[in-house]
Amino acid sequence: MLLNYLHSGSGKPLIILHGLFGMLDNWKSVGKELEKKYAVYLVDQRNHGRSPQVPEHSYKAMAADLAEFFEQQHLSSAYLLGHSMGGKTAMQFALDHSSKVDKLIVVDMGIRRYGAGHDAIFETLNAIDLKEIHYRSDAEKILLENINDFGTRQFILKNLVRQQDGSYTWRFNLEALDKNYESEILAPVDGDHPYTGPTLFIRGQNSGYILNEDWDGIQQLFPNSKLMTVKNAGHWVHADQPAEIVRLTNDFLAT
């Protein structure tokens, strides 16, 4: 699979993976800072952004996509950073291809199966008839009726794009994501052997994705790991505290 990506900077390669409903654009501002020291690859995962849309959406499949990406870019190894869904992809890849990951950074995501937390988003998106959307504000009004959080609405609307004929479409593959949400996207990561390379888990102070009681399980798969908590940040840590994400990443990769 040919994943869409943006490459900038020079030095040791650093690959960054976005989360569910996201795209590489979400990490551009952080990438611009990190490219000062690294060859940064911002990647659209399958069924997101400008990457191919396919029926299958699992962490094993996305880890295999990433293995292909390494071959296509002639990368023998790299630093790997993933947020949320991208964090699980990064963890799965590290477990499946440990020799290719020099250091691993996981932003606000654990290894366990999570309970459904996007049902309202899926219901709302499925209720939007794109044939009836003539302006972005039309979609925004529908989102406003069902999704209270302004940041979440704007995050979703970034994926709404106008086509040449004037109609609108989603960047993400809504059908595939909805179909695989319960069985695959919420699924845990697992491997036959732990990843023993240096690993940094970063969580938002106001997020519940990495709980204190999750840590023992995380360390079974990632025994050489440490946890940092970013104050005044929720699940989208890189949006709430971008400078802190850059600082923690630089400090961790430099040591």
Residue extents of the structural domains in the chain: 5-115+188-254, 119-181
Helices (H), the chain: 28-34, 59-72, 85-96, 119-127, 136-146, 150-157, 174-180, 215-221, 237-240, 242-254
Residue positions counted in the chain: 255
Residue type, 177: L
Residue 18 is among the residues annotated as catalytic for this protein: no
How high is the pLDDT of residue 146?
A: 87
- What is the value of pTM for the model shown? 0.97
Q: How far, in Å, are 60, 149, 160, 185 from residue 153 at the CA level?
A: 29, 6, 11, 21
CATH architecture designation of domain 5-115+188-254: 3-Layer(aba) Sandwich (3.40)
Q: Are 34 and 67 in contact (CB under 8 A)?
A: no
Catalytic option among 137, 175, 182, 183: 175
Question: Running along the chain, 255 residues long, what does each successive block of 10 average in pLDDT?
Answer: 97 98 97 98 98 98 98 98 98 98 98 93 94 92 90 93 93 98 97 97 97 97 98 96 98 96
Q: Whose CA is closest to 98, among 65, 63, 71?
A: 63
Q: Is 71 a catalytic residue?
A: no
Q: Which H or E element spans position 162? A: strand 160-162
- Could you say which of 84, 207, 225, 238 is catalytic? 84
Region label for 19, one of left (φ > 0), alpha (ψ between -120 and 50) or beta (otherwise): beta
74 is annotated as an active-site residue? no
pLDDT for res 155? 92
For residue 219, give Cα distances in angstroms to 6, 63, 102, 104, 212: 32, 20, 17, 13, 12
Catalytic hit among 48, 83, 235, 238: 235
Task: Take residue 8 and report the two structure tokens written for it.
Answer: 């900038």
